[in-house]
Structure 1
């Protein structure tokens, strides 16, 4: 048993020198090589890193070298054979489809997006055979193996010089035979057509032994060959000899007329039409000759087909009409001919898209003006609700947006996602388009969408657009609708949150200066900034009233939740305490001096490098500070954290767990002494003054600067200053 595996390289379909080594590397690496001057036949094995030694060789020389080396291999170990087979099999499987297409001269298929025009395809004729010679002083075998009895793999590939090769491998990966691929001799009739030899075509066509209905390849007749190469004189002779093949189809369902149109062979098109070719027969993708002529942008062929009365509104397999295909190329001459022949302006393709939508999407101003002049609806919507204005804003076509707005296009028509053209323009960062859409967009309509363009501008860091929207009066405290909030795991809701999580200081500053409330989100922006260690944004938020002592409803704690994200950054932790963070709740513990139950931790999505303790008992009781500080990723800083907190409290009692932490390291014994009663009178006075006056009014007190700094926890008390 054997199987065919067609090997080729994707893209360029060429086998370069490096690719040639990849193909024959395993064989060459296992061969014993006798190098010049070695004095014997036992040389070192060629390794993959030695390929640079042969970089000056041509493809043919490399190929011959690989063959000769494979012959010197006397035996191959089982492991090496398996590895060789695996490499070759992977190469075969990867490139099989590309080579199969190459050998049939069929272009690569391309994927199509929702709105984009499909990539045109056409039937290619058999490629002209090129002569190739192959010689080797010592080929593996003089003749290829008999395919009826060969048990292995047949691989086909192409060298860098374009030479087609075929190699035979055993199942263990060892090379059996390699040689140029046997050439298929081109039939005399098809060669004569390709060369344009009319006399020879006439002689062969009328020859009793010639069957004009016999294809050279699946579905490819002599008449298709003549239409492809534009040999109209040969085409006339073939039709006179066998008129019945005028509408025969190729393997893709293409008639000779469709082949001629695809190749823009006007003379052949006229000959075929004169000889009764049916201009309505499509290929298997339902593309008619008229559609293909519009795709090829040939006004002359379109005119010839229209003069024969073809239908102008026939759709291809994706629902495109000839007019829609023409609009992509903005050929007004063909558009005018199609409209005069009865083309409809508002026919939709399979996505509900009209020609006007296509023109707006592709920025074709001339075609857009033409369609609107002839009555196309500027507010047409696709199946997903997108309008031509929305699509033009999405693609950044400023002139198209301006033109559509001048013709009263509705800027307040939402798509199925609920968003307006202003939303998509803000998301894309199109300043000019945003400035055009702001005056015609209803703020009430924006509120009904459940998302503000401010959210999208902040999410994409479009600072210029954000500033423009703020100046236009859009609500900086607008919140996402419940449906849109649920799309985010952290349940964010404000534009400020988007700016903070992007670490965009400028955007956060603009929003806060415009009145953004930093306390609207369930998971506060201050917590986000603290988790990321963004001290600059933390300061901005605190200065604009961020609640340092806020809790998270879904994850309750007995202490300010922001401490969970700032304890690793002691300067930041101290800043929060200096500006109103409560320290006393950190020392409240329901167990006191009694033993604590074992700590249970669970992975938190708040901080990717830390665990969080699970709440003990009912959820409403919350996680205690002593439990939070005991997680493995934080407990190493327990001493310094407790030391900082003691500066902001009076008489407190450390619970048994905090004492365990302080006892775990001898250097922290001073902290334990610091917590022991009584606390210094100076510390108690500082706390009392802050409680009575408040931190914001300290500067107004008629006190020396050093004392003010002491009250703010910035310096030592006056009697300790030097």
Structure 2
């Protein structure tokens, strides 16, 4: 870049916003990005540097090397993040010459590690490039450059490149110690097995047979490495030289298990012909057959079964191969196992059956196959629920339709929860309709044990639909005969609190008790009024359809002074401002106390005004009078209480009409 600009810097530009841009005139975009990354870490480096000791990682792959000519992947080398250095441990790395114009720029060459006292930071770019940066104790950057590659030993390089003649020469050289690893446990035989150099491997084993079963830090023998890399030729060479094919790695996985995991039928056949044990378990209890089932390789499954693999062996979670096949939706494996007599009703340690797990995962074909083979749909899992429950909860229409005829209604009742509850809870309307049409009881209630799981002690599917504000589900349940008055906290109160007038109307039309109370929070007036006071049209609707207004004006104190109200936040109202009054009355909380709550008292006048339209002559208690006196615009409401009433009468055309008449006219009319 001849003359860099902000537009060329891209995202790095923001990190270098206050620098002299000529400082970076000779850097590439990639180098600029690295400098920007380092600048973002400056605050970290200003703090006291941390001393990280160099530790070798577990050997999962051979040591670092340049890309081979055959383009085989090369595993990463040992990486160290940061360490405090006071003596030379890293060789100097060549650095591209860069011209800087700002003061105290990074040097062109790495510092002399014999005299350098600072911090060395190693990191990797997003493209996988390894970088190293040197910092002074004050956090300023000394030098940054790509990390020099570690030098590869001649023998391991010759193996990687497949130079058999050179490998033979080095292996037979008097000064060569073939038992000396290049990394923790990584011998030349592991290197040959990794890169599939079977001719080199043959020469190495001829020179030093004792390497045949040596293990890496992960417990991998050369044959395990060869199997992991699907190097069939190397596997055969190792077996010819006496390799023990039963030695597991640190995860207790045998070469046979690994061959099944790698889906290599040829290696599985080779190992089985060599007579390896077929039912050995890994650290989690999985067998080779279970892994082959997961891979859905019927050729391998057939070979394992002929070699004596057990069909119903369980892993540490109690899962058999058939359960695993059902869980993963492996139809071919499932048919194979059923054909050979696997237990179709096998249960895991938590009680779940293969059918339950298939329904949970939504595997429709698996459910159909299991049911066709007489799988028991009435075995509950550890939660007590049946496959139908989990299918309804998941919303699997087809699976629900298959499970309905196979499920016992008596067993459903015994679980203490209906699939209707779960369908309503998750808004699975199609499933809900299907269950209703199948005749499931829309008034089924949760068992006491399951009811206690909910703070509001809900018990019906209708309650779930109301609290979800699912009008269509509410309509379906009510039309099917759902009783809106079964729950302790009535669905009508929930709908009123949510302000859902459609749901309120549906509930009232189907017989919801407007004047019901709450057993745990008794009131002297209809409890639903508490949740509709802020929405006067809703309050009027409830009063028009049978809500009792008169109890709102019954007060045991009358014109006398009311005692102070001790308030307590309600534990059943989601409104954070809603306060329930606690008073020592046998009959419960009075209307005048409820309306005194801070969140309601500001609307006391209009609320009282609406209620007075539905009662005759009433006496307002001293507390209600206080509310009406608190605002001059409400003074006329007091006169309404003493002189007017609202009456309802039934006309010949069956219409209800509300009229405001003086008290003496009402008396004369009667």
Aligned counterpart in structure 2 of residue 710 of structure 1, from 653, 658, 662: 658
Pairing 1:277-296 to 2, within 5 Å after superposition: 277-296=243-262
Matched, 1:347 2:313: yes
Deviation at 1:597, TM superposition (A): 2.5
Hey, what does 1:613 align to over in structure 2?
580
Pairing 1:108-147 to 2, within 5 Å after superposition: 123-129=60-66, 134-137=95-98, 140-141=106-107, 144=110
Pairing 1:311-330 to 2, within 5 Å after superposition: 311-330=277-296
Matched, 1:477 2:443: yes
The alpha-carbon distance between structure 1 residues 259 and 704, as it changes in their structure 2 partners (threshold 3 A), is closer
Distance in 2, Cα, partners of 1:188 & 1:361: 50
8 Å CA contact retained: 1:584, 1:649: yes
Aligned counterpart in structure 1 of residue 527 of structure 2, from 558, 561, 577: 561
Comparing 491-500 with 552-561, which one deviates more in the overlay? 552-561
Q: Deviations over 1:615-656 (max 9, x none)?
A: 2115x4321111111111111111111110000111111122
The alpha-carbon distance between structure 1 residues 137 and 629, as it changes in their structure 2 partners (threshold 3 A), is same
Matched, 1:263 2:232: no
Deviation at 1:34, TM superposition (A): 4.1
Hey, what does 1:428 align to over in structure 2?
394
Distance in 2, Cα, partners of 1:338 & 1:712: 91
Deviation at 1:170, TM superposition (A): 5.1
Aligned counterpart in structure 2 of residue 503 of structure 1, from 465, 469, 494: 469
8 Å CA contact retained: 1:105, 1:125: no
The alpha-carbon distance between structure 1 residues 181 and 611, as it changes in their structure 2 partners (threshold 3 A), is same
8 Å CA contact retained: 1:105, 1:127: no
Count of residue pairs the alignment pairs up: 624
The alpha-carbon distance between structure 1 residues 534 and 133, as it changes in their structure 2 partners (threshold 3 A), is farther
8 Å CA contact retained: 2:346, 2:354: yes
Distance in 2, Cα, partners of 1:557 & 1:596: 17
Output the TM-score relative to the length of structure 1. Answer: 0.81
SS at structure 2 position matched to 1:425: helix
Hey, what does 2:29 align to over in structure 1?
58
Aligned counterpart in structure 2 of residue 588 of structure 1, from 549, 554, 558: 554
8 Å CA contact retained: 1:522, 1:552: yes
- Unaligned stretches of 5+ residues in structure 2: 1-8, 69-92, 100-104, 666-670
Aligned counterpart in structure 2 of residue 391 of structure 1, from 348, 354, 357: 357
Distance in 2, Cα, partners of 1:90 & 1:426: 58
The alpha-carbon distance between structure 1 residues 63 and 375, as it changes in their structure 2 partners (threshold 3 A), is closer
**Cα RMSD between the aligned structures?**
3.2
The alpha-carbon distance between structure 1 residues 649 and 456, as it changes in their structure 2 partners (threshold 3 A), is same
The alpha-carbon distance between structure 1 residues 486 and 151, as it changes in their structure 2 partners (threshold 3 A), is farther
The alpha-carbon distance between structure 1 residues 546 and 285, as it changes in their structure 2 partners (threshold 3 A), is same
The alpha-carbon distance between structure 1 residues 710 and 87, as it changes in their structure 2 partners (threshold 3 A), is farther
Comparing 152-161 with 206-215, which one deviates more in the overlay? 152-161
Distance in 2, Cα, partners of 1:62 & 1:332: 51
Deviation at 1:158, TM superposition (A): 2.0
SS at structure 2 position matched to 1:389: helix
Q: Deviations over 1:51-105 (max 9, x none)?
A: xx99x961124446889xx8xxxxxxxxxx9x94249989999xx99xx99x969
Aligned counterpart in structure 1 of residue 129 of structure 2, from 146, 160, 163: 163
Aligned counterpart in structure 2 of residue 679 of structure 1, from 644, 648, 655: 644
The alpha-carbon distance between structure 1 residues 404 and 198, as it changes in their structure 2 partners (threshold 3 A), is same
The alpha-carbon distance between structure 1 residues 409 and 90, as it changes in their structure 2 partners (threshold 3 A), is farther
The alpha-carbon distance between structure 1 residues 673 and 169, as it changes in their structure 2 partners (threshold 3 A), is farther
The alpha-carbon distance between structure 1 residues 704 and 486, as it changes in their structure 2 partners (threshold 3 A), is closer
SS at structure 2 position matched to 1:155: strand
Deviation at 1:160, TM superposition (A): 4.4
The alpha-carbon distance between structure 1 residues 407 and 105, as it changes in their structure 2 partners (threshold 3 A), is same
Aligned counterpart in structure 2 of residue 338 of structure 1, from 295, 304, 325: 304
8 Å CA contact retained: 1:558, 1:623: yes
8 Å CA contact retained: 1:141, 1:177: yes
Deviation at 1:144, TM superposition (A): 4.8
Hey, what does 2:271 align to over in structure 1?
305
Matched, 1:378 2:344: yes
Distance in 1, Cα, partners of 2:249 & 2:330: 28
SS at structure 2 position matched to 1:592: coil
The alpha-carbon distance between structure 1 residues 21 and 555, as it changes in their structure 2 partners (threshold 3 A), is farther
Hey, what does 1:572 align to over in structure 2?
538
8 Å CA contact retained: 1:578, 1:712: no
Output the TM-score relative to the length of structure 2. Answer: 0.87
Matched, 1:624 2:624: no
- Unaligned stretches of 5+ residues in structure 1: 1-16, 42-52, 71-80, 107-122, 690-697, 718-722
8 Å CA contact retained: 1:601, 1:611: no
Q: Deviations over 1:384-439 (max 9, x none)?
A: 11111111111111111111111111111111111111111111111111111111
Aligned counterpart in structure 2 of residue 237 of structure 1, from 203, 209, 212: 203
Deviation at 1:178, TM superposition (A): 2.6
Name the one with the larger helix percent: 1
